[in-house]
Amino acid sequence: LLLTTVTAQNSGSDNVTGIFRNKNEFLNREITNIRISDSLNYVQVNFAGRLILIRNGVPNQIQLASIFGYYDHGNRYRAFTDSKGFLSIDGYFKLEDEGDLIIYSKYGYLRSANTNFFYFSRSIDSPIIRLTVKNLKKEFKGLKELVVNLKNSSHSLTEVEGGHFVLNNIIKKHYRN
């Protein structure tokens, strides 16, 4: 693969695809191997969760552990793997919100229905955890008020309000030092 790096803000279009080789590229939106998306240049995640980078009609399979993520039509996806046997979390997670928590989504299946599952991490490179009240309690052990505020909120944790997820708004309002 020919590797060129362009910053997404300067690419002139959200109709582009490419990869992030490391955390700094991901944070700075410096896309490597960037191309305008068309029938010969696109990104595909196959059924097995493997990333296929198609350039000039030639597919190149990218190993999950070899990149930090990828860019597709204005969205950043983080690569993550956490092997725990049957309960392993791995694949590519769409970055949804950057606040006190980093919130991701991943498309999946539950009881034969398509759905978006939500996840979070404390930083852009910390482990990705399924977004549940139980997991938030574990992560914020010293902040019992957080769980009370979450339970008292009339909003869903994944509802967007003011450009951020309600969860990040609650943390920012009540717990940021």
Q: What is the mean pLDDT of residues 55-65?
A: 92
Q: What is the pTM of this model?
A: 0.84
Which pLDDT belongs to residue 69? 95
Q: How far apart are CA 81 and CA 58, in angstroms?
A: 26
pLDDT tens digits, residue range 4-22? 444 454 444 578 999 999 9
Which pLDDT belongs to residue 172? 81
Is the pLDDT at 141 greater than 70, yes or no? yes
pLDDT tens digits, residue range 93-104? 999 999 889 999
Which pLDDT belongs to residue 128? 94
Give the other-Cβ count within 10 Å of 72's Cβ: 22
Residue 67 or 4, more confident: 67
